[in-house]
Each structure stands twice: as C-alpha cells, then as structure tokens.
Structure 1
Amino acid sequence: MTRLTGVLFAIAANGLFATSDTLVKLLSLHYPIFQIIAMQASVACVVVAIVIWRDKAYRLSAVRNPKMLIGRGFLAGVGTVSGFYAFSLLPLADVYAITFGSPLVVTVAAAWLLGERTGPARWIAILVGFSGILVMVQPGYAALSLGHLAAFLNVFVGASVILIMRTIGSQENRAIMVAAVMAGQLTASLPGLSLSHAPEWSDVGLVIVSGLVMVSAQFLMIESLRRAPASSVAPMQYTKLIWALPVGLFVFGDEPKLHVVAGALVVIGSVLYLLDHQRRADNRLARRRESLMRQDCLEEKKLG
C-alpha cells in the first residue's frame, strides 16, 4: 500500500508540475521569465515558511547536508531559468520529450562517477534512448533553436538533481529541501528583475495559483520518493506527455509532431527497460544477501 501511495503521489505531483508549466507558458506571453520566476517563488516561499515553522525546521541543526542543499538550490535556479525559457519558445510536449532523457544521463553518470556496473544490455538501451532524442530534434533537418538548447541543459540539470536526491532525499527535512529550491529560484531571478513591470490585476490570480501549484508539486514529489522506490516513481514523469499534447493543441495551438511523439516513445521505452533491469538486479542482490544471512545463522547454530 505504501508503494502504491507513493506512485499515486508521483502521478499527482507530475500533474501539478504540468499545470504549473502551463501557467508559466501563459504568463510568458506578457512577462519576462525572470519576473515569472520571482513572482512564482515568492508565493511558494510563504507556504514553505509556514511548513518550516510547523515542523520546527528553522534551527541550523535541522540542516544535515548544507553543501548538497546549496548545490540543489543552484541547480534549481539554473533549471528553472532554462526550463521557463524553453517553455516560452517550444511546445510543452517538445520540452517534456527532450527532458525525458535525464534518466539516461543519470545511468551514464552513475557508471562513471559512482562506479555502478553497467553491462552491455544497459549500454545498448542507453544508446537507443539517445537515438530517440535525435529523432525528436532531427539535427540536420530542422533548425535547433535556443529553446532546444535550454531544454537540453535541463536534461543535465535534472540528472544532477536526481543524483543529489539519491544522496540526501531521506536525510533532510522536506521543507528544508523545498526551501533550497525556492532560494535558488529567487537568486536566479535577480539578474533579470530590472526588466520587470507591475503585473496586471487580471494576472495576479494566475501567479498565485502557479506558485501554490508548483510548491505543492515539490512537496508531493518528496513524499512520493519517501513512500516508494525511485524505480517506481521515476516512470510517472511520462504522464506529463499525456497532459502536454491536448493542452498544447487546445490552449496554445501546437499540433503534435509525429517525430517528437515517436522519439519520446523510444526514450520512454529505453528508460523503462533500464529501470526494470535495475529493479531485477536489486532483487537478485537482496535475495543473495538474505541467503548469506541464513547461512550465517545456520553456522552460528552449529557452532553454538
């Protein structure tokens, strides 16, 4: 039941992230992205402050991994700027499809940086996944825009965030982790605030809803990772594509591109294979450990 709850939380979180991204894309028609980031993060900070006060997490002793949290905040700032910029130029589905490649980068980074074993089958799946990204962007046939480059930057930012969350996700207070994200976003928005202008009253409601939806998604995602393993939570990000295609068509007039959908399906398939491969490897390791423990118990009984 706990695993199922975690998966449901992840589905809800990704739905809220997609809702927030839609509102950001709407706001980007009238406001610079730095102002949108500042407005959204300011609303979210109110919620985070309330949760920190309620959890009594305002003491410095509540922070266990300050360097990792600073890194998480920095990545949040970079990722939000690049993500919002990509949303302002590209259809939602295109941005999501490209950023689905983050787990592939995580697998490569884990092999090189963390020394995790990656056999031939997994390397083939990684190459297939990256070929799906090439199908989506069609280099040589379609011109790559700055929006594409921003989306690609988000792939690496997302991979780095996953690696950090692997390390500190179960150690830090949830409100502290979300506060690091908000601090990073506010810091990243500072260079462009000189371009800001007072929001129209008709847009204030969108800003408030956007901030509340975004911060709710952050908390839900953290809770999902605490209730279910990452291998169960990670595939839920692909539900964003189900949201993005109809919203892009009916709200923004972006017709689905066959090559983007086809490439996204290739990437999704390769990532799901990698996750299933990792799940089976973890199960084998767990059974081996359990068998060794039983053998040790039998030997202790014999000696006793």
Structure 2
Amino acid sequence: MSRLTGVLFAIAANGLFATSDTLVKLLSTRYPIFQIIAMQASVACLVVCIVIWREKAYRISAIRNPKMLIGRGFLAGIGTVSGFYAFSLLPLADVYAITFGSPLVVTVAATWLLGERTGLARWIAILVGFSGILIMVQPGYVALSLGHLAAFLNVFVGAGVILIMRTIGSQENRAIMVAAVMAGQLTASLPGVFLSHAPAWSDVGLVTISGLVMVTAQFLLLEALRRAPASSVAPMQYTKLVWALPVGLFIFGDEPKLHVLAGALVVIGSVLFLLSHQRRAESMISTVRRPEPSVRTERLKGEKIG
C-alpha cells in the first residue's frame, strides 16, 4: 500500500509540475524569465517558511548535509533558468521529451563517480536511449535553437539532482530540501531586478497559483520518494508528456511532431529497461544477503543455548 501511495503521489506531483510549467510558458510571453522565477519562488518561499516553522526545522542542527544542500540549490537555480527559457521557445512536449534523458546520464555518471557496475545490456540500453534523443532533435535536418540547448542543459542538471537526492534524500528534512530549491531559484533570479516591470493584477493571480502549485509538487515528490523506491517513482515523470500534448495543441497551438514522439518512446523504453534491470539486481542482492529460514532458526537456537 505504501508503494502504491508513493506512486500516486508521484503522478500528482508531476501533474502539478506540468501545470506550473504551463503557467510559466503563458507568463513568458509577457515577462522576462528571471522575473517569473523571482515572483514564483517568492510565493513558494512563504509556504516553505510556514512548513519549516511548524516542523521546527529552522535549527542549524536540522541540516545534516550543508554542502549537498548548497549543490542542490545551485542546480535548482541553473535548472529553473534553463527550463523556463526552454519553455519560452519550445513546445512543452519537446522540452519534456528531451529532459527524459536525465536517467541515462545518471547511469553513466554512477558508473564513473560511484563505481556502480554497468553490464553490456545496460550500456546497449543507454546507447539506444541517446539515439532516441537524436531522433527527437534530428541534428542536421532541424535547426537547433537556444531552446534546445537549454533543454539539453536541463538533462545534465536533472541528472545531478537525481544523484544528490539518492545521496541525501532520506536524511534531510523535507522542508529543508525544498528550501534549498527556493534559495537557489531566488539567487538565480537576481538579474530580474534590472529587467522586471510591474505585473498586471491578473498575472499576479497566475504567478501566485504557479508558485503554490510548484511548491506543492516539490513536497509531494519528496513524500513519494519516502513511500516508494525511486525505481517506482521515476517513471511517473513520463505522465507529463500525456499532459503536455493536449495542452500544447489546444492552448499554444503546438501540433505534436512524429519524430519527437518516436524519440521520446525510445528514450522512455530504454530508461524503463534500466530501472527494471536495477530493480532485479537489487532484488538479487537482497536475496543473497538474507539468510535462509533454516539458517536463521539454527542461529536463534544457538543464541538461546548460549
């Protein structure tokens, strides 16, 4: 039941992230992205401060991995700027499809940085996944824009976030984790001080909704990771594509591109294979480490006799 609840939380979180991204794309036609980040993060910070106060997480002793949290905030700032910029230039579905490649980068990075073993089957899956990204962007046939480069930057930023979450996700207070994200976003939005202009009252409402939706999604995703393993939570990000296709078509007039959908399916398939392979490997390790019932019984008997 806990795993199912975690998966449902992950689906809800990704739906809210997609909602926030849609509002950001709407606002990007009228405001600089730095101003949007500042306005959205300011709203979210109010919620985070309330949660921190209620959970008494404001003590310095509550922070267990300060360097990792700073890194999380730094990546959040870069990822938000690059992501919002990509949304302002490309359809939502295109940006999501490209950023789905983050788990592929994580697998490669974990091999080099963490010493994790990667067999031939996983390397083939990684290569297939990267070929899916090439199908999406079609280098040489489709002119790559700065939006594509921003989306590619988000692939690597997302990979860094995943690696940090794997390291400290179960150790830090959830409010502290979200606070690091908000701090990074506010820092990244500083150029907006020189570019911003007074928003219309109707847009203030959109920004407020966007900030509340975004921070709620952050907390839901952290709760999902506490209730279910990452291998069950990670695939739920692909539900954003289901949202992005109709929203892009009916709100922004972005018709689905066959090569983007085809490439996205290739990337999703390869990542799902990697996650399934990892789950089987972890299951085998836990089975090997778990003593047989008879062994445990004999051990208990020995302890009682002793």
Distance 2:294 2:194 in 1: 66
Partner of 2:32: 32
Query: Amino acid of the residue matched to residue 223 of structure 1?
Result: E
Partner of 2:94: 94
Partner of 1:4: 4
1:193 to partner: Cα distance = 2.2
Report the 3-state secondary structure (helix = DSSP H, G, I; strand = E; otherwise coil) of the residue aligned with 2:190: helix
Partner of 2:125: 125
Distance 2:38 2:11 in 1: 26
Distance 2:300 2:57 in 1: 45
Distance 1:176 1:115 in 2: 29
1:297 to partner: Cα distance = 5.9
Distance 1:178 1:32 in 2: 24
Q: Given the alignment of the two structures, is residue 238 of structure 1 paired with residue 221 of structure 2, yes or no?
A: no
Partner of 2:15: 15
Query: Judging changes above 3 Å, is the alpha-carbon distance between structure 1 residues 138 and 296 closer, same or farther for their aligned structure 2 residues?
Result: same
Q: Given the alignment of the two structures, is residue 77 of structure 1 paired with residue 77 of structure 2, yes or no?
A: yes
Query: Amino acid of the residue matched to residue 59 of structure 1?
Result: R
Distance 2:41 2:179 in 1: 10
Report the 3-state secondary structure (helix = DSSP H, G, I; strand = E; otherwise coil) of the residue aligned with 1:190: coil
Does the 8 Å CA contact 2:100/2:238 hold for their aligned counterparts?
yes
- Deviations along 1:211-231, one digit per CA (max 9) or x if unpaired, are 000000000000000000000
Query: Amino acid of the residue matched to residue 268 of structure 1?
Result: I
1:95 to partner: Cα distance = 0.1
Structure 1, unpaired ranges of 5+: none
Question: Under a length normalisation based on structure 1, what TM-score does the superposition of the two structures give?
Answer: 0.98
Distance 1:224 1:253 in 2: 33
Structure 2, unpaired ranges of 5+: none
Q: Which moved more, 1:293-302 or 1:49-58?
A: 293-302
Distance 1:69 1:293 in 2: 42
Distance 2:281 2:201 in 1: 55
1:293 to partner: Cα distance = 8.5
1:136-285 map, 5 Å: 136-285=136-285
1:202 to partner: Cα distance = 1.4
1:298 to partner: Cα distance = 3.3
Distance 1:302 1:202 in 2: 74
- Deviations along 1:35-87, one digit per CA (max 9) or x if unpaired, are 00000000000000000000000110110100000000000000000000000
Supply the RMSD in Å over aligned alpha carbons. 1.3
- Deviations along 1:184-206, one digit per CA (max 9) or x if unpaired, are 00000002320100001111110
Distance 2:296 2:12 in 1: 44
Query: Amino acid of the residue matched to residue 220 of structure 1?
Result: L
Report the 3-state secondary structure (helix = DSSP H, G, I; strand = E; otherwise coil) of the residue aligned with 2:290: helix
1:292 to partner: Cα distance = 6.6
Query: Amino acid of the residue matched to residue 195 of structure 1?
Result: L
1:52-71 map, 5 Å: 52-71=52-71
Q: Where has structure 1 moved over 2 Å in runs of 4 or more?
A: 291-304
1:158 to partner: Cα distance = 0.3
Query: Amino acid of the residue matched to residue 7 of structure 1?
Result: V
Distance 1:8 1:263 in 2: 26
Partner of 2:104: 104
Percent of pairs with identical residues = 84
1:296 to partner: Cα distance = 6.6
Query: Amino acid of the residue matched to residue 298 of structure 1?
Result: E
Query: Judging changes above 3 Å, is the alpha-carbon distance between structure 1 residues 283 and 195 closer, same or farther for their aligned structure 2 residues?
Result: same
1:291 to partner: Cα distance = 3.1
Query: Amino acid of the residue matched to residue 209 of structure 2?
Result: V
1:135 to partner: Cα distance = 0.1
Distance 1:50 1:78 in 2: 25
